[in-house]
Amino acid sequence: MRTAVKRAAHVAAWSGGRVTVAARMSPSFLIVGAQRCGTTSLYRALARHPLVLKAVWRKGVHYFDVAYHKGPEWYRAHFPLKATARLVARRHGGVPLAFESSPYYLFHPLAAGRMARDLPEVKVIALVRDPVERAWSAHAHELARGFETEPSFERAVALEEERLAGEAERLLAEPHAISHAHRHQAYLARGRYAEQLERLAGALGRDRVLVLDSGDFFADPRPVYDRVLGFLGLPAMGDPEFRRHNARPRTSPLPERLRRSLREHFAPWDERLRPWLGGDPSWRR
């Protein structure tokens, strides 16, 4: 019942937003992923900044990945009114920025080009995490949500190549297609961060992409948060709260044999990540 009421409220709010779409903000920046890398934690910290305005009703609009067919008016309807931004500017003496966070944007093969075309000045933030831990966490997450039916992580990893075969190509060939396997069962592919970041920078420009190591963010969040503010041109204001959100406890440890195998699989991809982070990622130090 609560979900139905929430959905109805969202539809009503979006309908009202569509009427006023010309008077609404466009996002200045996006958190684009990666999935299970701390995007919610960063989103909530930034949402507490007085000059940052989040999308209405939902953290992630998922427009540039699975809802692009709904059109730009549908997307703009999710953001605050420009009148709200003017009030915030008068109150705090700065330029407010709107944003949203959709962690599938980084991985979807069409999202980067769509963002570049529709939001030519947008900046994007990507978080990366130990890809072995990310994959393991993603499996638990998708299993709990009912999007994964294979309870064994090792078996799900073994099935990945078969499940994903041709799916990225299909998404490119059929721009409005949706792939369940590509979105919910890409445990290893999503952890090959460098190829996704290269695609993003190729579309947007390297200077508009900020890559953060989530290990550093959780170990000492304030310096990483300050880097984000500098990237966005925001002053240090407000009272950010740094907490880990959406963690899923695992009932048993990851077998060491499988961990070693996956770490070896990701080694060349982690090496390609070094220029983006200015050194070794936290899980390789």
Q: Helix, strand, or coil here: 92? A: helix
What pLDDT sits at residue 135? 98
What pLDDT sits at residue 208? 98
What pLDDT sits at residue 2? 47
Whether 234 contacts 227, CB under 8 Å: no
Residues 6+ apart with CB under 8 A from 3: none
Tokens representing 48 are 């507490």
How buried is residue 220: exposed, middle or buried, by Cβ count under 10 Å (0-12/13-18/19+)? exposed
285 residues of the chain, pLDDT tens digit each: 445 544 544 554 555 456 689 999 999 999 999 999 999 999 999 999 999 999 987 889 999 999 999 999 999 999 999 999 999 999 999 999 999 999 999 999 999 999 999 999 999 999 999 999 999 999 999 999 999 999 999 999 999 999 999 999 999 999 999 999 999 999 999 999 999 999 999 999 999 999 999 999 999 999 999 999 999 999 999 888 887 766 666 667 899 999 999 999 999 999 999 999 999 999 999
User: Shortest CA distance to 174 belongs to which of 116, 112, 108, 117?
Assistant: 108
Q: Supply the DSSP symbol for 70.
A: G
State how far Cα 133 lies from the chain centre: 17
Write phi, then psi, for 138 (nearest 5 degrees): -65, -40
Pinpoint the alpha helices (H) of the chain: 2-19, 39-47, 63-66, 72-76, 82-92, 111-118, 131-145, 153-164, 167-173, 180-184, 193-204, 214-219, 221-232, 256-277
Domain 30-48+101-284 fold is Rossmann fold (3.40.50)
What pLDDT sits at residue 9? 44
Whether 67 contacts 77, CB under 8 Å: no
**CA R_g for the chain:** 19
Q: How far is CA 245 from CA 38, 151, 253, in A?
A: 7, 23, 21
Confirm whether pTM is higher than 0.75: yes
Pairing verdict, β 29-33 and 123-128: parallel
Name residue, tokens 């907490």.
243
Q: Is the dihedral of CA 43, 277, 204, 200 positive or negative?
A: negative
Query: Distance (Å, rounded) from C-alpha 52 to C-alpha 73?
Result: 21
